[in-house]
Structures are given as structure tokens and as C-alpha cells.
A and B are shown apart, each in its own frame.
Chain A
Amino acid sequence: DAKTTQPNSMESNEEEPVHLPCNHSTISGTDYIHWYRQLPSQGPEYVIHGLTSNVNNRMASLAIAEDRKSSTLILHRATLRDAAVYYCILRDVRDDKIIFGKGTRLHILP
């Protein structure tokens, strides 16, 4: 069973920042927080991951709450190409499989 909770869908305007929330109240000390996204007609692609500290890469930023029970994926300047389903996933460092939830469908308005 998925251990994360995300809104079903969100909308944002093009060229504005987007904050995608994720709740994971049962996170354990060995769980990493991963984000993947799936563009239309494509397989999922890795976005970012973190353990405790906030993380930045060329695609996005990941803000992790101090108690690690929630996190937020931040797209700094959304484009139409960012329209996708975004999955927040907890991945135990000792486990290999990824358990996907329903994700958040992000719509970008021009």
C-alpha cells in the first residue's frame, strides 16, 4: 500500500512557481522521499529525492519538513512541458521496489 497522500490534481499558471504537497506521516528513519513524474504517453522519470535536508537540482527543489512527515516539490517556473502526474514515494533504503500511489495530476494553464 502507498504510504503517501497527495492531492488528486492541481492547476498552475505557466511561468509561475508550483508547490506540490505530499504527506507521509508514517515515514520511518530509513525511508527516502523520492519524486517521479510521468509525462503523457511516457514512462515515469526521476525528479528528485532527499532524506532530511532540502535538496535542489536542475529540475526542481524538495523541501522536507523538520519532522519529515510531509514534503513539498517545488517547480520554480512551470512550463507547459511540466504538465504531468507527479508521484511522491517513500523508498526504504533496504528495499528495492518502488510503491507508487495515485499521484497528483498537474495542469499548467497558458
Chain B
Amino acid sequence: KAGVTQTPRYLIKTRGQQVTLSCSPISGHRSVSWYQQTPGQGLQFLFEYFSETQRNKGNFPGRFSGRQFSNSRSEMNVSTLELGDSALYLCASSFVPGQGAVQETQYFGPGTRLLVL
């Protein structure tokens, strides 16, 4: 079974631009979570989507948004990029037996490394 894939793997943007990152979960997984990893703050939870609905959200400004499509693929968008948005963005997918059920182990992708200049 193919793992979680993220595209692109590397990205360079300038301040003020916006960026869209993509995540394809493991086949059959309907939950997708996004995390930001920086040397200073470590791994921080951004948000989680299940069945095209945002189910959980971390403490990030509204510039960070996401969505999930009917095939469970997910995208996250960061608008008006700031230097501090430079980070590794990780996507994780998991199987959820049903609505309201607790998800199982999360499987992470390799991440997209974003550099904002």
C-alpha cells in the first residue's frame, strides 16, 4: 500500500505571496491532519479534516487554511507569507472507522519544506 505523499517536496516563496501544499493520504484513510515543524517550536498541530469537514484546529492565524476533497486528498493554503512561516509542513493520515469514532495510528508523509525569503 502506498504511503502518504506530499507535493511539492521543496518550495521557495517570498514574503506576501501565498502557497498551496497538497497531501494524498493512504488509500482508505479518511482523516488528514497537518502539522508545522520548526526548530524553535517543534511539531505543532495545524488542523484535521475528516469527510471534507474540519474536525479540529490548532492555534494558528487565519492565514492558514485547508480543505479536503471527496477522495480524501487535502490541501493547505498559507496566504500573505511571513518569514516565520518557513518550516517543514507535515501531513498525516489515519483510518477512522466511522463518524465520531476515534481515529487510529497516524501515518506521516515526508513533508514539504517551505522557505520564505
**Secondary structure type dominating chain A contacts:** loop
Chain A residues with CB under 8 Å of B24's CB are none
Question: B4, B45, B90: which contacts A97 (Cβ < 8 A)?
Answer: B45
Separation of A44 and B55 alpha carbons in the complex (Å): 22
Is B107 among interface residues, defined by CB-CB distance under 8 A? yes
Chain A residues with CB under 8 Å of B109's CB are 43
Chain B residues with CB under 8 Å of A98's CB are 33, 35, 45, 92, 106
Indicate if the CB atoms of B55 and A43 lie closer than 8 Å.
Answer: no
**Closest partner residue, chain B, to A99 (CB atom):** B45
Indicate if the CB atoms of B56 and A97 lie closer than 8 Å.
Answer: yes
Contact size class for A?
A: 10 to 19
Indicate if the CB atoms of A97 and B42 lie closer than 8 Å.
Answer: no
A2 vs chain B, min Cβ distance (A): 9
Known contacts A96-B55, A97-B48, A100-B42; A44/B102 CB under 8 A: no
Indicate if the CB atoms of A96 and B56 lie closer than 8 Å.
Answer: yes
**Secondary structure type dominating chain B contacts:** strand
A45 vs chain B, min Cβ distance (A): 7
A13 vs chain B, min Cβ distance (A): 28
Chain A residues with CB under 8 Å of B92's CB are 43-44, 98
Chain B residues with CB under 8 Å of A46's CB are 105-107
Separation of A99 and B44 alpha carbons in the complex (Å): 7
Indicate if the CB atoms of A96 and B48 lie closer than 8 Å.
Answer: yes
**Closest partner residue, chain B, to A47 (CB atom):** B105
Separation of A79 and B102 alpha carbons in the complex (Å): 34
A84 vs chain B, min Cβ distance (A): 13
Contacts A/B (CB < 8 Å), 23 sampled: A41-B110, A43-B90, A43-B92, A43-B109, A43-B111, A44-B43, A44-B92, A45-B107, A45-B108, A87-B43, A96-B31, A96-B56, A96-B102, A97-B33, A97-B58, A98-B33, A98-B92, A99-B45, A100-B35, A100-B42, A100-B43, A102-B42, A103-B42
